[in-house]
Structure 1
């Protein structure tokens, strides 16, 4: 059962910018896991390919919900002490959340956790969706699949942190249908237990693109990723089953993200409602594609 949780965190001392990287937050998550299950923490640390979770960068701004703008992914300066922060953790494996239940139920605000030289207090954890908490939700894979529409032909995503896709030996920032949906499909088939053996994307076309490229410098090597909004439209005579599968994968994006380095804060993605200005007709099929870098 995938879960998308948000932790409210209060730093008890300034957090230096050098400790706000994806690598350090990844280490903090493994520390949390090891506090209740050291064997599981060691397994997640050593599992090079099987990363059944994704993390966000640490956020100091209120979670946006009226506008689908990007999140913070780098901090040029330290976060001052007592600055309210939030941090998203998503879990993809059915058993992972259960193994960490003791952690979620027994968070002690007076117990400090450590991010570099700073102590952190975890005030609370949200796991239930609310209108002002777009990154919080939980749903079984069976529910995700059963509730997926067989008729909705409009799919829109907000890419909230820099997103890049591995193609052969190199990376690409262009969110083609193959890059986005094959990324979702591989993780769905790995964790859901409801395999989609083959998915035809021939009828899926970009209908609105508003993205810009951004450099991510807080890794061992620099990455260039894209943030923004992309819409796809299913065109032509398409079986309801295929439409349902595409919609299920789109809904799954909230939990798994897309592309590379999702366990370190990249590729945070969620499905969004399509604004009227993005809906196209046969008479007005203009593609908006401003790429900035």
Structure 2
């Protein structure tokens, strides 16, 4: 079962921008894991292949249901103490969630966690849909598949943090149908236990694009990705099974993200509902 958990955080001292990078938040997550299972924390730290979790950048703003709403991915000013923050952690592997159950159920409200020199209190963990928090959710893989539509031919995504796709030795920022749906397919097949055959993408066409590129400088080298909205349509004579699989993958995007560096906060993506007619 994939889980998308939102942690509400309260810093007890200011957090400087230098400690708000994906690398430092990745280290904080591994510290949380190691607090209940050091062997698992070490294994996740050493993993070089596709990882079974994703993280968001630390957020200081509420997250309303706006289809064009992007998140914060860089901070140029310190986050002041006692600023309410939230942080999304998604877990794709049932085993990983079960091993961390002790952590979620036994959080000590008086025990701070450390992000650089700053102390952070975890005040609440949200794991189910909220009126004002679209990033919290959980759903069985079998349920994701069963509830996926066999008739919905419009697939729309909101890229909330910069996304880029690896092609050979280099990155591409273009959200082609192959980059997007094959990224989802590889993660679905690895973790769901419901393997899909390679998708027939010849019937999938981009129908709306409203994106821009963003450059992040807080990596060893600059990272360029796209944010915004992209829609695809399934056209022509397509079997219901193929439509269902594509819809299941689109719904899965909330949990797994898209493209590179998802364990560092990049590629946060969710499906959105739009109402556009063909013109």
| TM-score relative to the length of structure 2 | 0.99
2:67–2:272 Cα contact (<8 Å) kept: no
2:67–2:158 Cα contact (<8 Å) kept: no
Partner Cα distance (2:66, 2:49) in 1: 35
For residues 83-105 of structure 1, give each alpha carbon's deviation from its aligned partner in whole angstroms, at most 9, with x where no partner exists. Answer: 00000000000111110000001
**Partner of residue 22, structure 1:** 22
For residues 130-184 of structure 1, give each alpha carbon's deviation from its aligned partner in whole angstroms, at most 9, with x where no partner exists. Answer: 2322000000100001110000000000000000001111111110000000000
Other structure's SS at 2:8 match:
strand
**Partner of residue 159, structure 1:** 159
1:126 offset after TM fit, Å? 0.3
**Structure 1 gap segments, 5+ residues each:** 285-293
Alignment of structure 1 residues 223-238 onto 2, 5 Å: 223-238=223-238
1:228 offset after TM fit, Å? 0.1
For residues 231-280 of structure 1, give each alpha carbon's deviation from its aligned partner in whole angstroms, at most 9, with x where no partner exists. Answer: 00000000000000000000000000000000000000000001x3xx13
**Partner of residue 88, structure 1:** 88
Alignment of structure 1 residues 1-293 onto 2, 5 Å: 1-274=1-274, 276=275, 279-281=276-278, 284=279
Other structure's SS at 1:100 match:
helix
Deviating more after overlay: 61-70 vs 24-33: 61-70
1:74–1:216 Cα contact (<8 Å) kept: yes
Partner Cα distance (2:66, 2:73) in 1: 20
1:67 offset after TM fit, Å? 4.1
Deviating more after overlay: 22-31 vs 128-137: 128-137
**Partner of residue 290, structure 1:** none
Partner Cα distance (2:114, 2:229) in 1: 35
Q: Which runs of 4+ in 1 moved over 3 A?
A: none
Partner Cα distance (1:66, 1:226) in 2: 18
1:68 offset after TM fit, Å? 2.8
For residues 46-71 of structure 1, give each alpha carbon's deviation from its aligned partner in whole angstroms, at most 9, with x where no partner exists. Answer: 01114100000000011131343110
Partner Cα distance (1:12, 1:229) in 2: 36
Partner Cα distance (2:131, 2:247) in 1: 21
**Partner of residue 291, structure 1:** none
Partner Cα distance (2:67, 2:262) in 1: 22
Other structure's SS at 1:102 match:
helix
| TM-score relative to the length of structure 1 | 0.94
Other structure's SS at 1:213 match:
strand
The alignment of Structure 1 onto Structure 2 pairs a total of residues equal to 279
Partner Cα distance (1:207, 1:219) in 2: 33
RMSD of the TM alignment (CA)? Answer: 0.8
Partner Cα distance (1:210, 1:199) in 2: 25
Partner Cα distance (1:86, 1:269) in 2: 17
